Amino acid sequence: MKTFRNIILLIFVLTCVSFSVQASFSEIKDGHIQFPYEIGVSNGIVYSFSEEQYAYGLHVYFIKKFGISKKLGIGAGYEAIFDGHSHNTVCVLLHYTPFKHISVNVAPGLVFLESEPDKSRFALHTEILYEFHIGVFNIGPSIGAAFNPDDFHTSVGVHLAVGF
């Protein structure tokens, strides 16, 4: 299972590097620089309703934004919950920014448990972010929820992203 996770992370990093080489433009809209690419991380406290326990959660992602206003995006993500079962989720991430400081991420994917390495389940991760724009950085609070056939969990934390 750890080998699979390391391969996914390596592919994720190499994809990010290749896209960063291609990123050569940005635009200014409403006083904020709009970058076509974003790498972000959300971390915080996760509460699992099925296990009735709290744990630390980490969600990293890469997004390619498109459209005239860069309000839409698509990318890839990885979520890890550090509890007794070691939840690991790999997902496709759909991004939408309906308002200046609010972003919504919806990420369908597959969840893997370290206790059952040969079995995967469909999962859906959602996240709402309130972002303060500071140069190339976006930072702010995040709330999220994730569903799979065996678990439902919510999270609250801090989001940090860098645009390029």
Express each pLDDT in 97-154 by its tens digit. Answer: 998 899 999 999 999 877 777 888 899 999 999 999 888 899 999 999 999 888 899 9
Using CA atoms, how far residue 23 sits from 16, 71, 163, in Å, is: 10, 17, 10
If you average pLDDT over every residue of the chain, what do you get?
A: 83
59-87 b/e (C-beta count within 10 Å ≥ 16 → b): bbbbbbbeeeebbebebbbbbbbebebbb
**Per-residue model confidence (pLDDT) at position 148:** 87
pTM for the full predicted model: 0.75
Lowest mean pLDDT among 6-15, 43-52, 72-81, 82-91: 6-15
pLDDT surpasses 50 at 33: yes
- Residue 44 corresponds to which tokens in the numbers above? 């915080």
Query: CA nearest 103: which of 57, 69, 135?
Result: 69
DSSP letter, residue 8: H
**pLDDT above 70 coverage of the chain, percent:** 79
Q: How do residues 90-104 score in pLDDT, each as one tens digit?
A: 999 999 999 889 999
Q: List domains and CATH numbers for the chain.
A: 2-163 (2.40.160.20)
Report CA Rg, the chain.
Answer: 16
pLDDT surpasses 70 at 25: no
pLDDT surpasses 80 at 159: yes
